[in-house]
């Protein structure tokens, strides 16, 4: 554990995945980091929005934001191990606004993935923590 990790423990929030919760999550991430963090806020927003859209509104989630060395890791855990995120390339001419979130996330993060643990899955991403 680095000195920074000892000073700044992970942000952990358990809540239902509802649209009304997203602004509070973005605010909590900003307050936790105590600095502008648009990319972290984008990641939190997109990962929770994917749960709302693909698993179901009101699904209980755990959101975790932590410094891991020189990176910031964002994790969203939900109770549906079968509904997995799929990176799709949005057609520039498409009128639908859906399907772009994971592409945006993929563009700003160093890496992302999915971990399975029993009856849950965690979708995570890592960003440079500069």
Per residue in 61-93, pLDDT tens? 999 999 988 899 999 999 999 998 888 776 655
- In the chain, where the domains are located: 3-90+98-128
- C-alpha angle 8-45-33 in degrees, rounded to nearest 5: 20
Whether this prediction's pTM lies above 0.85 is answered by yes
Chain mean pLDDT for the chain: 88
**Pairing relationship of beta strands 71-78 and 11-16 according to DSSP bridges:** unpaired
Rounded Cα distance between 89 and 80, Å, is 24
Q: Report the pLDDT value the prediction gives residue 87, as an integer from 0 to 100.
A: 85
pLDDT at position 109 over 60: yes
User: At a CB cut-off of 8 Å and minimum separation 6, what does 122 contact?
Assistant: 75, 76, 77, 114, 115, 116
Question: Residue 5: is its pLDDT beyond 90?
Answer: no
Q: What is the pLDDT of residue 98?
A: 63
Residues whose CB falls within 8 Å of the CB of residue 124, separated by 6 or more in sequence, listed in order: 73, 74, 75, 76, 112, 113, 114, 115
User: Dihedral through CA 95, CA 97, CA 101, CA 103, nearest 10?
Assistant: 0
Fold assignment, 3-90+98-128? Heat Shock Protein 90 (3.30.565)
pLDDT at residue 57 tops 90? yes
| 4-8, 72-76, 99-103: range with highest mean pLDDT | 72-76
Rg (CA), the chain: 14
Between residues 90 and 121, the one the model is more confident about: 121
pLDDT band at 26 (very low <50, low <70, confident <90, very high): very high
């Amino acid at each position: 554990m680095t000195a920074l990790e000892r000073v700044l423990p992970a942000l952990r929030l358990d809540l239902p995945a509802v649209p009304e919760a997203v602004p509070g999550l973005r605010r909590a991430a900003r307050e936790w980091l105590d600095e502008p963090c648009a990319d972290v806020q984008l990641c939190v927003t997109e990962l929770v929005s994917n749960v709302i859209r693909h698993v179901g509104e009101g699904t209980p989630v755990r959101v975790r934001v932590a410094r891991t060395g020189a990176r910031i890791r964002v994790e969203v855990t939900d109770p549906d191990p079968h509904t997995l995120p799929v990176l799709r390339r949005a057609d520039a001419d498409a009128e639908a606004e859906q399907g772009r979130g994971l592409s945006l996330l993929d563009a700003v993060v160093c890496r992302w993935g999915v971990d399975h643990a029993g009856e849950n899955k965690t979708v995570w991403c890592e960003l440079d923590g500069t």
